[in-house]
Amino acid sequence: MNHPYDLVFFDLDGTVLDTADDIRDSIAYVMRLFGYPERTKDEVRSFVGNGVRRLIQRSLPESVQDDPEKVEEAFAAYSAYYPLHASDKTKAFPGIEETLRLLNEKGVRCGVLSNKDDDTTKALIEKFYGGLFCTVHGKRPEFPRKPFPDALLALIKEQNVPLSRVAYVGDSEVDIRLAENAGVDGVIVSWGFRSHEQNAKNGAKYLADTPEELQRILLQTKKGE
């Protein structure tokens, strides 16, 4: 065997898809709807990673962030609006389709696990990467969101692959912690919602700044093989 992984899971937002504009536009819609100040794109980028409810809460003015009713009404508005506009401006990151095809050719199974809701995750992956993933899952009620490892461990068990042969590819501290909590290798990319420097500071062991670097990490030969 000349590569270290049999199964690689990917985050969605900021990892395989550039969703920043549609997320920011949807947040702007909600803020306008309730008469709140709009957030900048950089602010919204910094809020992404811990699930939609946390994204909404952090996007609200500080004066209402701890008001459950205000958070819930904003969450409901976003949840109704975003799925209808999730692919208005979203696009695939350059080199990701080629990376997935290369992994598939090498016999490496690929999956998706995202904190985005399950239906939207499946719809986006089908539109941009149909047929390239063996399993695709977003946030589902039976599992806590990342970085809790429950969903990832359940999906790995379904694929019947030992943890030592699994990697998780993401773009933020949430993904770093998820990989640690699940006991798999985490590979963190810098083209998403966090920079190379931020991810290094947050303890990323494997960092990729380009799809080519990601391919090398995922397909490198392990020592002793």
pLDDT tens profile 145-155: 999 999 999 99
Distance CA 57, CA 95 (A): 33
**Total number of residues shown for the chain:** 225
Question: Residues 71-84: what's their mean pLDDT?
Answer: 97
Question: Three-state SS for 171?
Answer: coil
In which band, very low, low, confident or very high, does the pLDDT at 224 lie, cut at 50, 70 and 90?
very low
What are the boundaries of each domain within the chain? 7-19+90-219, 20-85
Which amino acid is located at 51 in the chain?
G
- Answer yes or no: is pLDDT of 60 > 60: yes
Q: Name beta bridge partners: 53.
A: none
- Answer yes or no: is pLDDT of 79 > 60: yes
- Give me the pLDDT at residue 3, please: 82
What are the pLDDT digits (tens) for 157-168? Answer: 999 999 999 999
In which band, very low, low, confident or very high, does the pLDDT at 221 lie, cut at 50, 70 and 90?
low
User: Candidates 3.10.290.10, 3.50.50.60, 3.40.1000.10, 3.40.50.1000; correct CATH number of 7-19+90-219?
Assistant: 3.40.50.1000
- Give me the pLDDT at residue 225, please: 42
- Give me the pLDDT at residue 220, please: 87
- Give me the pLDDT at residue 49, please: 80
The percentage of residues in the chain with a pLDDT greater than 70, rounded to a whole number, is: 97
Long-range interactions of 202-207: CB distance < 8 A, separation 24+: 202/172, 202/173, 202/176, 203/173, 203/176, 204/176
CATH topology of domain 20-85: DNA polymerase; domain 1 (1.10.150)
Question: Residues 65-79: what's their mean pLDDT?
Answer: 97
